[in-house]
Amino acid sequence: MPLADRVAHMWFLRLALVGLAVVLRAVVPRTTAGGAGTLAGGTAAYLGVSLSLQWAWRALHRRHRGLVLFGAMLLVDGVYLTWASYLTGGASSPLRYLFVLHLVGVVLIGSYRTGLKVVAWDSLLLFAALRLQEAHVIARVGSSSGAEQQQLTAFVAVCWLVTLVAAAFSSVNERELRRRRGDIEALARMATDLELLDDPNAIACAALDRIAGTFAFDRAILIAGRAEGDLAVMAAHGLDGLDGLNGLKGTRCRPGAGAGTVALRAMAAHRTLLESGIDPEADPWLSAALPGGANLIVTPLSADGSPFGALVLEHGLRRGSRVDQQAVAMVERFASYTALALRNAWLLEQVTRSAATDGLTGIANRRTFDVAISRELARAGRASEPVSLLMLDVDHFKKLNDIHGHQTGDELLRQVARILAGHSREFDTTARYGGEEFAVILPSCGPTESVEIAERLRRLIGEADSAVAVTVSVGVATFPGDAPDAVTLIGAADMALYESKRAGRNRVTAASTPPGGVSAPAAEHAAPPGNASPAVSAGAADWLPTPIT
């Protein structure tokens, strides 16, 4: 509870104490230490001092000094109650029960520690008042000294008992509140951490580490999959050694015999399951991942009502550990944030992939090609390495569309893209340049090697098993020999492609740089009937292909 709220509640408690003091004073037949005017004047002074301290607290607006003034107000409360009890009969005064009410209020509004300090202060004041009476410093009230001592001791004991009982319940409540606040703060920190990540695997690892650390789980596994039934381990915590962690990640989780894995059951039920152990027959993969696993909490991961994974958490039930309903509910909140972060990361990947790939063929689109070729030429310029570009065009594609239909044409484009992507190097860029044209960027690849690669790709496409036979024409250009930049390199490869189509299609033509410094087609690999070995031809004009030996 904020300090401002505690000060306000204590002020209302003081007003209640003053009201009860006035009522109880009315039932006291007489006082031996002063009249009603004395009590009224003291009460007014008490309220004045309390108001002054409260105004001083509001003026300071500093937590440290505010706590000091809050404690000072409690000390003033004790002085007032002791003085009012003395005026109305000492240890036998009906106002002494206001001590009990005040102590309970302090424990509940302040804290159990503050309550223990206040009861010690009140005890000191009560015994001090009795000693002052025995020393004849103030007038004696009540019965004989011995009886007064016994009554006061008994009453102080009651005050301590009530305070200790209230403090015990309050401490339990405070611990629970602190625990819940700690869980919420950990949840907020995890949400902040996940917002900074966009990789699904990094999100899974960060979330699982935060959950395991917050709830002291010994071992934990996060499994998830984008497609229904295709679950895999994305993150693991607490397994023996780094090899155990890395070895488990990516493991496919298939249902076993019987009811299937506990993760699948939790996902199907849309609720958290508590399991005392692992059934090796139903959960062979989980039994192998968590040998001897017990006291499991299995929480499904779902977004928009659709489960796509689960958290498998093992609790050791050590001293101070907890698996109660509140903890399970908080784990479910952590799981909800994790599921939302994973789903958002997957959606971001999908959007990014859609923006970078061609929707029909699934390879890079023109925008990605433009970025990639600029990047590769800049890198090659710094490293003084060549970069080759293949431009490919499907022969007679419009005619194929007119005869066999657009669906067949689309499937042919997808087949060509699969062959290009499947037979290129990992760091090559295969893109759909536009329509039936494709491009392949070959980093660190010179003129001779690029022609060989182009010829191999041309032959693979022509020999592919498809409903309709298809061939391609290819143009090849290399940086920096054929062009100094991306624009001229594309132009050189396109000119070579045009020459392949002019010379009869289904062939490879390489660009060359003539003495004048203008890129032109330099060599042509043409496929004779039957896809036999390509022949090399030469023209008389300067721009026509020249033999390559």
Min mean pLDDT across 16-30, 401-415, 430-444, 517-531 is at: 517-531
Rounded-to-integer distance, Cα 494 and Cα 141, Å: 115
Quick one: what percent of the chain has pLDDT higher than 70? Answer: 82
Over residues 166-186, the mean pLDDT reads 83
pLDDT at residue 276 in the model: 85
End residue of a domain, out of 117, 152, 180: 180
Residues 169 and 205 in one domain: no
Count of CB atoms within 10 A of residue 75's CB? 15
Nearest alpha-carbon partner for 310 in 247, 213, 235, 384: 235
Residues 169 and 291 in one domain: no
Residues 425 and 386 in one domain: yes
| Residue 544 or 467, more confident | 467
Residues 381 and 528 in one domain: yes
Quick one: what percent of the chain has pLDDT higher than 90? Answer: 43
Count of CB atoms within 10 A of residue 507's CB? 27
End residue of a domain, out of 299, 327, 351: 351
pLDDT at residue 387 in the model: 97
Nearest alpha-carbon partner for 369 in 384, 381, 358, 380: 358
Looking at residue 527, its amino acid is A
Domain CATH number, residue 475: 3.30.70.270
pLDDT at residue 231 in the model: 81
Over residues 45-62, the mean pLDDT reads 76
Q: Does residue 499 lie in a domain region?
A: yes
Q: What are phi and psi of 62, to 5 degrees?
A: -125, 135
**3-state SS assignment for residue 296:** strand
Domain that holds residue 392: 366-536
Q: Is 332 a catalytic residue?
A: no
| Residue 466 or 331, more confident | 331
Question: Does the structure show a pLDDT above 60 at 119?
Answer: yes
pLDDT at residue 353 in the model: 85
Q: Does residue 541 lie in a domain region?
A: no
Domain CATH number, residue 302: 3.30.450.40
Residues 490 and 387 in one domain: yes
3-state SS, one letter per residue, for 430-467: EEEEECCEEEEEEECCCHHHHHHHHHHHHHHHHHCCCC
Question: Does the structure show a pLDDT above 50 at 521?
Answer: no
| Residue 475 or 97, more confident | 475
pTM of the model: 0.60
Query: Are 7 and 57 a contacting pair, CB within 8 Å?
Result: yes
Confidence of residue 317 (pLDDT cuts 50, 70, 90): low
Residues 162 and 216 in one domain: no
Min mean pLDDT across 88-102, 127-141, 311-325 is at: 311-325
Tell me: the pLDDT tens digits for 387-429? 999 999 999 999 999 899 999 999 999 999 999 999 999 999 9
Q: Does residue 329 lie in a domain region?
A: yes
pLDDT at residue 32 in the model: 47
Q: Does residue 17 lie in a domain region?
A: yes
pLDDT at residue 251 in the model: 53
Overall number of domains in the chain: 3
End residue of a domain, out of 111, 146, 180: 180
pLDDT at residue 390 in the model: 97
Residues 316 and 391 in one domain: no
| Residue 337 or 131, more confident | 337
Residues 282 and 173 in one domain: no
Residues 169 and 204 in one domain: no
Tell me: the pLDDT tens digits for 347-361? 998 888 888 999 899
Segment of 145-149, 286-290, 521-525 carrying the highest mean pLDDT: 286-290
Residues 160 and 272 in one domain: no
Residues 309 and 404 in one domain: no
Helix-, strand-, coil-residue percentages of the chain, each rounded to 5: 55, 15, 25
Q: Does residue 334 lie in a domain region?
A: yes
Confidence of residue 248 (pLDDT cuts 50, 70, 90): low
Q: Does residue 546 lie in a domain region?
A: no
Q: What are the structure tokens assigned to 436, written together?
A: 């039936």
| Residue 292 or 437, more confident | 437
| Residue 537 or 386, more confident | 386
Rounded-to-integer distance, Cα 204 and Cα 235, Å: 6
Tell me: the pLDDT tens digits for 453-469? 999 999 999 999 888 88
Rounded-to-integer distance, Cα 339 and Cα 194, Å: 11
Q: Does residue 515 lie in a domain region?
A: yes
Q: Which of 436, 437, 455, 499 is catalytic?
A: 436
pLDDT at residue 243 in the model: 41
Question: Does the structure show a pLDDT above 50 at 338?
Answer: yes
**3-state SS assignment for residue 35:** coil
Residues 118 and 248 in one domain: no
Q: Does residue 128 lie in a domain region?
A: yes
